[in-house]
Structure 1
């Protein structure tokens, strides 16, 4: 076996919370794209993985109007191996922009000879399309920017860098770089990875999993030690407020049912985890695949819990599908009506069947699958009557048994159809789901808080035991819903800040 002599540094940035906004920012996602990339590089290179958040999530420091969790930028700079052939930075979320930009500047100042590669978070709604902020990235010190999936593009770029064969860069689609004449060259994204089963499983051994677990909160409701998994990529729908159509070329691709269950079994055996948070935004597009996944989980006697944490198109499932999912360990499904108004849904280009969703929620309630309904407020063109229809529909969902709601105020993420329609933010980190810079924010924020209070009241009336159970879950720190966990998250962060915050 050939000795691995080249060192590659990979950086996961800090988790960022906008001060005063525990609803729309500060939600930790495990760095799936970086773990996949590490798995693709492990056999050829020595990896130096720096998880700025995960290495010390209990350390907090302030940058302008934001709180960062994890080690400081200066500590990240010190942990870079000076012999690295390149530094790969994961652009985890648009909200982390203020930290990532400074991190790039600092790394380039300290290691001007080491190329910096920026990779996109192409599978999450908190990510952004890097081609829409390309000038800023290069101004901050990037040498290469990768659009879409990184697992094939980045190894090709590294190979070209090491061989000093820069003329071959034009053979790679979906990247941007500065040519030798100083001109910015953008090669459009032409393809996605067709066969996702070819990819190795994420290399979680490079990340401080025990510290993620000790944090006691995650993106999905955390009952115990967990791992993130992605069973599909992209989405076949084209909602105007969502970045996924841009970063995935409006295509959905899925791993085979066997490959998914192979990973579940592998992670159970390797890390002794029994809980999995599915982070694909639409894993149930192929209903037959989901049922086959469930059957194989049962056949292999995997005693696990799993949650659709990032959402699913509820109309792609039937009652029978829910039954199979429950038998196989699924105990949480997030779905997104977005609005109770058909007028707003048309503006969003969002198909949704309100009545069908009510039937599905009733059945989830009967068989013991917790449910979350997500809504977007303040979409351009939305009127007071539209908000009223959303309120009416949420009351119907509450009576049907929905366990929690999430109310996000629309923010124009780079790469969405709404990008550029609303202005007023000073930097991209302000593009949280509580955009205080919007002229109508106070109106929307007041409506949101009132609706949350009404939801709680309706829940006490229709399902009082659920409210009591959520209080017990909060005290036990074993969460069955994001709402319970988010209360804990806000209190935990407040305690960490009070204990001591450094300004950077």
Structure 2
């Protein structure tokens, strides 16, 4: 393997002290479609966890979040006429890193944003030829060989859960040792051949993982701009109570990234972290971004009881789409009484045939009952649905759309319909790739980005042989807007709530309200030609 970036081997006086190592963790700008209505952003949990872990082991680091540094600033991207950059340019990012940096870690989560991430990596290598350049995240884990082929500038990739791998890589780099035996890595050897050291075993006791290393200056960038990826409460933070998911939905990247081991933190550790944020940062809310936050009823009840016992007054939410088995009236009442205001459910489909095909092991009747119970208890609720799976006929899709209108009429605040995205690392992606329907190249990456961002009826590529891409887009947008219209007509009190929140400029009780706030912020933002590129 290539040892040219091993610091210890090149240091005249032996390895540096840990405290003297200059480690920078970088998140690229966000790649957004020019027709996107929403360009939300949240603080990077991944980089904050990484920073906290290596700090525990004696290293200091600096997070450069290119999106956070330019929140609300949309720039034309000179490499594409279709997509913009949300955040600062590569040159502006590079200017924040010292010339003698030792290690640069790049967060590469979204395959749909890989073209912009790739550009930044290439620019970082050109600017810092002697630094160890590492990348990690869901995209890297799912397409590691492809990523190295496109970015041979990278010295190593951290696959899956990255804290232990990145720390051991830092140690090897500092001491000038070969890192080819560190589990959880991929790299190119001296002959340019792809090498993987295999996946690292998951961390079993996640209470031992240090809390995310936030700084008030970093968080305030989001609070002051009103940016979030969920519902907002002025001073909220993203939060995790677990890692992984025990289920195997065919469209989800969990198995590739985390395996199917589901690990919960202890309630004590979770409550202590929330209390720390209240004391240190004066937060007003937390948003649980877990893949599956609520599975064990005993855990969630104990969590709520401790919030009560310790008189912790915060607003919290479950925005990403959770399961419903543990969300009965008893549990929902406890959630409501401890400040939970918003619950996102993930039925995914109204077709029993589709639910079986995508391995979504839910009882749709029971889930719907839980949604209605949540509405009766005063929650703002959301249902996430997906259409366009390769097996689906119009009958399957109509069943899903009928379910959407049904729950909207019954009071569900938000019904969001997505067209299926064949994300790398999923069973769906692997099947389509084996059948020759997917070739991983830039056009595929831009296709994912369009599905992720664009409000457009054209230039979409889907993988359903029964229904055209145009027709799927019509179903998607018509259903989303119709469900919001149904809600505001049948439940006019929502109009008052939405107007109140828009006037506040920061609070949002729903994703829709948050999108409206983002649009208002966007009108104040500038869309410009590329700056200092």
Aligned to 1:52: 66
Match of 1:29 among 21, 42, 61: 42
Deviation larger for 74-83 or 196-205: 74-83
Contact 2:101–2:128 (CA under 8 A) maintained in structure 1: no
Gaps of 5+ in 1: 122-127
The answer as to 2:512 corresponding to 1:483 is yes
Write the distance in 2 (CA, Å) between the matches of 1:201 and 1:190.
Answer: 21
**TM-score normalized by the length of structure 2:** 0.88
The answer as to 2:169 corresponding to 1:152 is no
Aligned to 1:19: 34
**TM-score normalized by the length of structure 1:** 0.92
Contact 1:372–1:404 (CA under 8 A) maintained in structure 2: yes
Contact 1:340–1:393 (CA under 8 A) maintained in structure 2: yes
Segments ≥4 residues shifted beyond 6 Å: none
Aligned to 1:446: 474
Deviation at 1:280, TM superposition (A): 0.6
The answer as to 2:500 corresponding to 1:472 is yes
Superposition CA RMSD, Å: 2.1
Contact 1:237–1:250 (CA under 8 A) maintained in structure 2: yes
**Higher relative contact order by CA 8 Å / sep ≥ 6: 1 or 2?**
2
Q: How does 1:45-444 map to 2 (within 5 A)?
A: 45-63=59-77, 64=80, 65-121=82-138, 128=139, 130-140=141-151, 141-166=153-178, 168-170=179-181, 172-205=182-215, 208-419=218-429, 421=432, 422-423=437-438, 426-432=443-449, 433-434=451-452, 436-438=459-461, 440-444=468-472
Q: Residues 3 and 391 from structure 1, CA distance in 2 versus in 1: closer, same or farther, beyond 3 angstroms?
A: closer
Contact 1:9–1:88 (CA under 8 A) maintained in structure 2: yes
Contact 1:398–1:462 (CA under 8 A) maintained in structure 2: no
The count of corresponding residues between Structure 1 and Structure 2 is: 492
Q: Residues 428 and 376 from structure 1, CA distance in 2 versus in 1: closer, same or farther, beyond 3 angstroms?
A: same
Write the distance in 2 (CA, Å) between the matches of 1:264 and 1:48.
Answer: 23
Gaps of 5+ in 2: 1-16, 463-467
Over residues 256-310 of structure 1, what are the superposed CA-to-partner deviations in whole Å (9 max), with x where a residue is unaligned?
1111101000111110001101111101111111111111111111110111122
Over residues 40-93 of structure 1, what are the superposed CA-to-partner deviations in whole Å (9 max), with x where a residue is unaligned?
122522323211111221322122122222221011122222222211001132
Contact 1:129–1:414 (CA under 8 A) maintained in structure 2: no
